Amino acid sequence: MDKLSKYEIEGKCGEGTYGVVQRARNKDSDELVALKYIKLESEDEGIPSTAIREIALLKELQHPNIVSLQDIVLESSQLILIFEFLEQDLYNIIKANDFQGLEIPIVKSYLRQMLEGVAHCHSKKVLHRDLKPQNLLVSKDGCLKLADFGLARAFGIPVKNYTHEVVTLWYRPPDILFGSKTYSTHIDMWSVGCIFAEMVSGHPMFKGEDEKDQLDKIFKIKGTPDPDKWTGMHELPLYDGMKDELPQYDPKDISEFVPTLDETGLDLLEQMLQCDPMCRITAADALDHPFLAEE
C-alpha cells in the first residue's frame, strides 16, 4: 500500500480489458496517472497470464507513440498498473466532432503517429491485435499513443497458431473472420485502415452484427474475393463451411465512403484494406507513402 498511498484518486476514467481504470494524481510530482486494476481470481492462480504478457510487452515497447507503464503495485486481491495519463481517446475526438469526420491535416497527424507506434510494435515482433479508436489515447497537445495491450502477443518466425478470437468485430480482417490462426503483422494493418476511414468519414466503415454479417459488410464494399486470386483462401478453417453462402458482390468505389480523401489518401487506404493479408501494406511502407509525405 505504500506505493499506492502517494496517489490521490480523482475518479473513474474508463474500463480496460480487465476492469476499471481510475484517474489519479501523484502527490509528489502533481502528475496525473491512470490506474488500471486487474482483479486476481485467487491466491493459488496468481497473476493472469494475459496481465504478465501485457506488462512484459509494455516494458519492451518504449516509444513516444505507445502508452508508458510507469509502475506496478501488487495487493493481495489485485494488481494495479500505473500508466501515464492522456486526456481522451480517438473515439471521443471523433464523437466531439459530431461524427462528421476530422479535417485531413488532423487525420494525417493521427495516422502517422498510429503507424509510428504500430511499426515499432512490429519491429519488436509484437502484434497489438485490438486496434480501435477507443484504444488510441490522445493528449491535449495532439500526441496519439497506442494503449490497452491486453490482447497483444509476441510473434515469431515461423508464425505460430494463434487464436482467431481477437480484434473487436468492426476492425477485424476477413482472414481472421474466416478463422485464420496463422497471421502476422497484417492483422493490425487492416485495423489501421478501418480507423483511417473512420477518422475521415466519422463512422465505422464495416459495422457488422456478427462474424457472418461482418464479412457481408466488408464484401459489399470491397467486392467478394476470388479464391483463385487470394492465395490460401481455400485453406482458411471456416471457408469451406461458408463458401456456398457467400453473396457475390462487385467492388464499390471506396471514395463514396470517404469523399474528402484525395487520390493519394484513397491509394493508401486501398493498400491497407486488402482482403488478401499478403497484399496489405506494412506499417513501415505506409509511413513512406506520398499521402503522409505531403504537408
Residue for cell digits 501485457? 54
| Catalytic position from the list 28, 71, 130, 188 | 130
What are the helix (H) ranges across 170-238? 174-177, 186-201, 211-222
Beta-carbon count within 10 A of 237 CB: 12
Amino acid identity of residue 6, one-letter, is K
Which residues neighbour 95 within 8 Å (Cβ) at sequence distance 6 or greater? none
* Residue 101 cell numbers, joined: 469526420
Do residues 126 and 56 touch, judged by C-beta distance below 8 A? no
What is the C-alpha to C-alpha distance for residues 4 and 148, in angstroms, rounded to an integer? 21
Residue for cell digits 494463434? 162
Concerning whether 130 is annotated as a catalytic residue, the answer is: yes
* Residue 217 cell numbers, joined: 459488410
* Residue 132 cell numbers, joined: 480501435
Which residues carry out catalysis? Answer: 130
